[in-house]
Chains A and B, each alone.
Chain A
């Protein structure tokens, strides 16, 4: 019993100190670290691809909608212009009313279309510039005709 007591107590001490050192169990990882990294990247690329596809589909839909609306309004403007050229008015008046028609169209377009516009304008910027070009061509043609009529 004599030598056993110090032995047991020293054994208990050693066990106790080992236990104190390790303490709580070490943080266990289910997957190796590089694997979690790769999974995260693939998930991210998948999400990006889906977002890209959705944006493409949405933009096509909005541009189709805008093209159909443009073809509605453009003939209306041309018709108005030709009827004005028929009736001789002072150039100032014609300019003003012409401008209000343009303005009205612009505002209508921007208020209804802007939500889709801002997401898609990267691809359709040129188309918008072309739209303005159309209006400007019509406008200048109108002026030239007025000049020759006078």
Chain B
């Protein structure tokens, strides 16, 4: 498979560039309007396997080409470019819109909101095209939402592979990950000043 990079593939292993898929929090990946729930997880794989569909791909519902894919990361990442492989017969996506660091977007939000960046796509069945991002805007990305409004005329939209190129930092965006619930207050947690031996009030 030929790379359209300006180097020969033997010197440089392309797959390591496209390794951001390792930083995706796969359990929290979700898609709206997918025909088979959970099929979205199959599109995030290694570069070498991008053409290896083995039957699993992300497909939208019949008669409705729109797709909304929510991709959270395990740490903040910087995204340099995105590669996307669609299906044949007009099922490839024709447009892509990205939203950064917003979760819970649904179709009405996506249609009304201004995207961080939009791309017009071409049919890219070999996966050799990549779409570059405005890197300054994609510096600390905890989650990215891709909205596919339309395809090339097919009944459904099919996506075989989504690749992300960039760097991963080790920073995390959300501080609170563990919440402990208390059914009843624990008196030892709420010692009054009298119990702790009294104290003098301070005026500072």
A and B: partners? Answer: no
Interface set of A (CB-CB < 8 Å, partner B): none
Interface set of B (CB-CB < 8 Å, partner A): none
